[in-house]
Amino acid sequence: MLLPTSVRYTLALAYEIRKDGIGGDMANKPRGASSSRVPRNTLSRDRIVEAALALFDAQGSEAVTMPSLARLLGVGTMSLYRHVEDKDDLINAVAERVLSEVQVPHGDPDDWEGRVVGFLRALRQAALAHPALSRILAERGLTVAPVFEQLEVVHAVLLTAGFSDLGAVRTFYALLTYVLGFVAWELPRAHQQPAGAYTAAWNDALDHLDPAAYPTLHALREQLTTAASSDQFEYGLEQLTRSLHPPS
């Protein structure tokens, strides 16, 4: 199945970034070397946002500056300002691009576990695919359209399910902050290092602990290595969801 053009473009840019560093120092590349320079007169807001998203994913939010983005695209820095106002506008546009792909599942109007919790599971997957997203959501007060549309739907579902006004807000944000917190926990342990590295780190640490002094940790060795897994995420989400049912 062919990927959408925008996705293929983002993946190609991410490959370029990882291969060459931020923007690839294109000025020093030999003639004929590969480049992500955009064709003349084709620079657009969409293309800038796609490139910024690739840079976010490959290098993190600190690496995203207007000069580094311009180098990646092979254009002058000032040309970016014809399409985006500043870095804040760019970050909002990146968040809007990612969040627009996260949908509240269809279902019964009062199915808060299927729809609200389902939305948060989808949000976790988007944050894992785009690691900067959870940090953007945690640190910034986003005012982009998808955020308000999603908040409108999930709170309407919670109210229909029988939560009070305050209960709906408290329930959603208890779940949201759990999801964002877990993503921040699992990303560096399970997704941003080689498979098995987290387990190996636990085993190495335990191997250096005296079993006589730490018998419980040694006994729990197998279980401790799963503390950043999807199973751990689902366990916490299930326990939290069970505790948040509306009053009967």
Strand boundaries in 78-209, DSSP class E: none
Residue 13, pLDDT score: 54
Residue 25, pLDDT score: 44
Look up residue 231 and give its two tokens: 């199973």
CA distance 160 to 147: 20
Residue 39, pLDDT score: 59
Look up residue 78 and give its two tokens: 């000032």
Instruction: Report whether pLDDT(79) > 70.
Output: yes
3-state SS assignment for residue 211:
coil
Render pLDDT for 20-45 as a digit per residue (tens, 0 to 9): 554 444 334 433 334 455 555 679 99
Look up residue 41 and give its two tokens: 């007169």
Torsion of the alpha carbons at 61, 77, 35 and 2, rounded to the nearest 10: 60
Query: Mean of the per-residue pLDDT values for the chain?
Result: 85
Render pLDDT for 91-133 as a digit per residue (tens, 0 to 9): 889 989 999 999 999 999 999 999 999 999 999 999 999 988 8
Residue ranges matching CATH 1.10.10 in the chain = 5-84
The pLDDT-based confidence of 200 (bands split at 50, 70, 90) is very high
The whole-number average pLDDT for the span 58-84 is: 90
At 78, the amino acid letter reads M
Placement of tokens 């739907």 in the chain: 153
Pick the CATH number of 5-84 from 1.10.10, 1.10.3470, 3.40.50, 3.30.70: 1.10.10
Render pLDDT for 135-160 as a digit per residue (tens, 0 to 9): 788 777 777 888 899 999 999 999 99
Residue ranges matching CATH 1.10.357.10 in the chain = 112-242
Residue 22, pLDDT score: 47
Look up residue 49 and give its two tokens: 């946002």
Residue 47, pLDDT score: 94
pTM for the model: 0.78
Task: For domain 112-242, give the CATH number.
Answer: 1.10.357.10
**End-to-end Cα separation, the chain, in angstroms:** 47
The whole-number average pLDDT for the span 155-173 is: 97
Instruction: Report whether pLDDT(17) > 70.
Output: no
Range in 10-14, 62-66, 207-211 with the lowest mean pLDDT: 10-14
Contacts 24+ apart (CB under 8 A), 219-227: 225/198, 225/199, 227/189
CB-count exposure of residue 109 (10 Å: 0-12, 13-18, 19+) = exposed
Instruction: Report whether pLDDT(219) > 90.
Output: yes
CB 112 within 8 A of CB 158: yes
